[in-house]
Structure 1
Amino acid sequence: MKLAFAILLLVLSSSLLEVSFAGSDFCNSKCAVRCSKASIQDRCLKFCGICCEKCNCVPSGTYGNKDECPCYRDMKNSKGKGKCP
């Protein structure tokens, strides 16, 4: 019985891991485009990734177009400024 439970747990955890990787592939590709012209690439990719994971979308282009994704547009940092690039 314990072995069956362990196998079930392993199967479920691997399925969840695949879903999280799939989401990050989407975000990685969208953020690579969004941050392609950013002067500070690593910071742009970091914050774009955070926003994408939470909102499940990234506006098109390298700048602007934030109305395409209201969640992305409305996220604020601790100082009240826009968080997402």
Structure 2
Amino acid sequence: MGISKAFVASLLISLFLIQLVQASYPNELTDAGIDNKDAPTKIDCGVACAARCKLSKRPNLCNRACGTCCGRCNCVPPGTSGNYESCACYAEMTTRDNKKKCP
């Protein structure tokens, strides 16, 4: 009789913990689904990088680096320079020499 009470108690605790985890991460399962309307849309990196690099002295190099960063981060800071606070991922990427990768 004691074993069945322990089993029922552990089963109830397990169910409670599962419910608690699901409440903590409500969109975890829907994010993996196909039809998620809350998922961020992919930006057009070509247009965003063309705007970012339009005043660059080396536009081809700027567009290539910007395109790589945009593809990984799915964002490009506004304007032609600076404004890195609006896209933290873009600002944190560095080259092998620890220089900023993204223009």
Letter in 2 for 1:32: A
After the TM superposition, which parts of structure 1 deviate over 2 Å for at least 4 consecutive aligned residues?
A: none
Letter in 1 for 2:93: M
Distance 1:34 1:79 in 2: 23
**Please, what TM-score do these two structures have when normalized by structure 1?**
0.71
Report the counterpart of residue 50 of structure 1 in structure 2. 68
Uncovered stretches (5+) of structure 1, i.e. residues with no partner = 1-22
Distance 1:31 1:73 in 2: 14
Number of residues paired by the alignment? 63
Report the counterpart of residue 86 of structure 2 in structure 1. 68
Shift of the alpha carbon at 1:41?
Answer: 0.5
RMSD: 1.5
Structure showing greater radius of gyration is 2
The percent of aligned pairs where both chains have the same amino acid is 44
Show CA shifts across 1:26-65 (max 9, x none). 0000000000000000000000000000000000000100
Report the counterpart of residue 40 of structure 1 in structure 2. 58
**Which structure ranks higher in relative contact order (CA pairs < 8 Å, sequence separation ≥ 6)?**
1
**Please, what TM-score do these two structures have when normalized by structure 2?**
0.59
More helix by share: 1
